[in-house]
Amino acid sequence: MSDSQFPATGRAWHLVRRPAGWPVPEDFALREVPLAAPAEGSVLVRNRYFSVDPYMRGRMNDVKSYVAPYELDRPMDGGAVGEVVASAAEGFEVGDTVLHPLGWRDYAAVPARHVTKVDTSLAPLSAYLGVLGMTGLTAYAGLLEVASFRSGDTVFVSGAAGAVGSQVGQIARLKGAKRVIGSAGSAEKVRLLTEEYGFDAAFNYKDGPVYDQLKKAAPEGIDVYFDNVGGEHLEAAISAFNVHGRAAICGMISVYNATEPDPAPRNLTQVIGKRLRLQGLLVTDHQDLQPQFVQEVSAWIRSGELVFKESTYEGVEKGLDAFLGMLRGENSGKTLVALPA
């Protein structure tokens, strides 16, 4: 493809200042960046969707972590799907639909080793950023491997109306959970959990202490906790656990924007007597499950047994609105930014 068949410039979101507490618009800038034909071994992708995710907030801090922090005055990155518009890499043709890690922009020049073809006959393209993407695999691996889910378990999911949590609850139900309980931050999300995602019980954590509401929803205790929130939720789950309970600690969004250290759960001594297992979860440790995950979950999608929602913002200029809205919990399901075809 010649250079004339794509623009000379694209747009990309840059981090220009490290947030102190909650991010604000002044911490970011949408800037024009030059585009050129891809280098040897790379492809140029016109992004159709890019993802915004809670973990990105941590990357905005200049601290050592499991993933490198965003650099100031450089384009941010994250999951994206799109169409190859120019290729200098064997095995990739113009028109291929692909998944890659250079989101937060409308066009991306990506080394082919970081690009994966996706099959849109199995599910819509956007699904590969959510229900069939990193968030979906997080739910699948976290529940089945990290939390060692077993048929007959009672499962509690915090942040259950989000992209990961909603899938955890449905997979637990499909795999034979005795009872699935979720927490969310609004009455509408609570309704969504029980009426559309098939949770047995759900509550709004803003309506009262999580401990009291969880005890009412799970009078016989819980066996598995999938933690997306941390803080009060984790403390309540520890109290509700049956002996040999297991927790997959996926996220702690309640403390991501805190400016003071959050107190640890005050009941950690129960970990000993109950012989609990609390294990952190990073999806990158579970890539070996990817083929099994896509096969099983895409079949559930096609059969209608697993449903998913997407909160979509239109246009690259809405990237920051999408990210901040997701942090505030305004989304139902996966938050995406859609770019014009």
Domains by residue range for the chain, with CATH: 3-130+309-338 (3.90.180.10), 134-284 (3.40.50.720)
pLDDT at 196 over 70: yes
* pLDDT recorded at residue 323: 97
pLDDT band at 341 (very low <50, low <70, confident <90, very high): confident
Q: Could you give the count of Cα atoms lying within 13 Å of 278 in the half-sphere of its Cβ?
A: 16
In contact, 28 and 318? CB cutoff 8 Å: no
Which tens digit of pLDDT belongs to each residue from 58-68? 999 998 888 89
| Helices 163-174/290-303 angle, 10° precision | 80
Question: Would you place residue 1 in the very low, low, confident or very high pLDDT band (cuts 50, 70, 90)?
Answer: very low
Give DSSP secondary structure letters for 94-135. TT-EEEESB-SBSEEEEEGGG-EE--TTTS-GGGGGTTTSHH
pLDDT band for position 332 (cuts 50, 70, 90): confident
pLDDT above 70 as % of the chain: 98
**176 pLDDT more than 50:** yes
Per-residue pLDDT, averaged over 201-213, amounts to: 97
Q: What is the pLDDT of residue 66?
A: 82
pTM of the model: 0.86
Per-residue pLDDT reduced to its tens digit, 110-163: 999 999 999 998 889 999 999 999 999 999 999 999 999 999 999 999 999 998
Is residue 19 pLDDT above 60, yes or no?
yes
Predicted confidence (pLDDT) at residue 2 exceeds the cutoff of 50: no
CA distance 238 to 266: 10
Residue 3: pLDDT over 50: no
Q: Which tokens in the block code for residue 222?
A: 């819980």
